[in-house]
A and B are shown apart, each in its own frame.
Chain A
C-alpha cells in the first residue's frame, strides 16, 4: 500500500487534545464563555465527528458547522430545478454522487432514476463530456455544484466541450465562493465565534492570503487545516492561542498542500469560463457576487439558458438546514432530527450529504435514548 508519509503517533493526538482542552479552559476563565470556532468545510465537519475530536473537546471548545457543504447550501428551488432536468427522456443528467439522494419538493434524482430516467453518477465532469460524445442524440447535462476546489474542474470540462465542439453538452451550475459567505455570516448573521477552522482543499486554489480580510475587517483569526486528528487539533490549539493573546492572524497549518498564493493555474481556468454572479443560498437568500455563472461567450454550454426549467415555490418544511449552515442551530435542535428526518428518510440535505452536519451528528454524536 502506498502511503503519503508515516501518520503521526496516535499518542501525539491524545496529548494534543489534552493541551487543547487545558488551553480552552484558560480561554473560558478569561472571557467567561466557552470558546467557539466554526469549521467552514463539510469534510472537517465529518472528520471532527468521525475521529472523535468533537466529542473529546465537548464542554471545552464548541465546534460549529459552517456553510461548507455545497449540496447543503444549495437553494431548494435550484435543487428542484436540477431534479426537473432529469424528467425529460431526451436528456441524460450526470452528477457527483452527493446529489443523488438530496430531497426535492417532489422527489430526488435517485427516485427519478429508479423510475427509468437516465441519471448517471460520474467521478469527473470530464466524464460527462465523454458521455455526450457517445450519445449525440441526447442532451447531456452535468450538475455543477461546488466551491472553488471544484469550479476549476468544471471549467476544464467546459474547455474540453468547447475544444471538441460538443454541442449536446451543457452544465447547470451552482458554483459558490467562500469569501462572500464568510463576510455574510459575520456581518449579517452576526454569528458568535472566536475564529475559523479554514478549509483545506478550497485553500489549495485560493491560497492562505485569501483570508486576510478576516483579520483586517473583523479581527477574526483563522487556521487552514488538514483532516487528520493531529492536523485539526493543532489548528484548534493555534486558534485558542490567538484568542487568548488577542492577536488574530491567518495561519497555514496545512503547508504540505496549501501555498500562500494558492494555485494560479486553477484560478485562471476558473475565471476564463466563469464570472462572479449573485447567488441564492439556503437559509441566507441572495448574497451579492457570492456565486459564479458561466461567461456569456460560453452560454451555449449553460443549461440554465439552454433549457427553460420552471419550478414552483418549494414547500415549507420544519427542516432547519438553513439555520444549520449559518451556525445558528445544532442538528439536535431541529425538531425533525432523528425522528422524521434520518439518513434513510432525509428531509433536508444536511442529513443526506457525506459532508452534512446532521449526517455527521446522526452517525457519530447522537445520544441514543
Chain B
C-alpha cells in the first residue's frame, strides 16, 4: 500500500493539481508538495503528491548505475 506512481503536473490549483499518469489525467492533492511547479513530476500515493522528483538526480543515478555495471570486480 506504499505504492507510488510518478505523475506530471499539468495544472496547479491551491491544494490540488491536475496530473498526467502515463496518459491518464486525474486530480491529486499537493498538501505535502505545495512548492511543485507545472511540468514537474510528483510521486503520488493514495491521491496525494508525496515528493517532487528531482530529474537531475534521476539522470545522475543512471550514470552511477552504468559505472557500477562496468566496474571491475575481481
- By a beta-carbon cutoff of 8 Å, the part of chain A in contact with chain B is 1-6, 8-9, 12-13, 15-16, 19, 22-23, 26, 41-43, 68-71, 96, 98, 123-127, 145-147, 149-150, 152-153, 156, 199-202, 204-205, 230-231, 233-234, 237, 253-259, 263, 265-266, 269, 354-355
Contacts and interface: CB of A to CB of B under 8 A. Distances in A.
Interface residues on B, range: 35 or more
A124 B2 contact: no
B23 A1 contact: yes
Contact of B29 (A9, A98, A156, A257): A156
Interface of B: 1-4, 6, 8, 20-23, 29, 31-34, 41, 43, 45-48, 50-51, 53-55, 57-62, 64-66, 68-71, 73-74
Contacts of B46: 96, 123-125, 146, 149-150, 153
B61 A204 contact: no
Contacts of A3: 22
A267 B2 CA distance: 15
A53 to B, nearest CB: 14
A125 B57 CA distance: 31
28 contacts: A2-B20, A4-B55, A5-B59, A5-B62, A12-B65, A12-B66, A16-B65, A41-B2, A68-B2, A69-B1, A96-B1, A124-B48, A149-B1, A149-B45, A149-B50, A150-B46, A152-B32, A153-B46, A153-B48, A201-B2, A253-B61, A254-B61, A255-B54, A257-B43, A259-B51, A265-B33, A266-B50, A269-B32
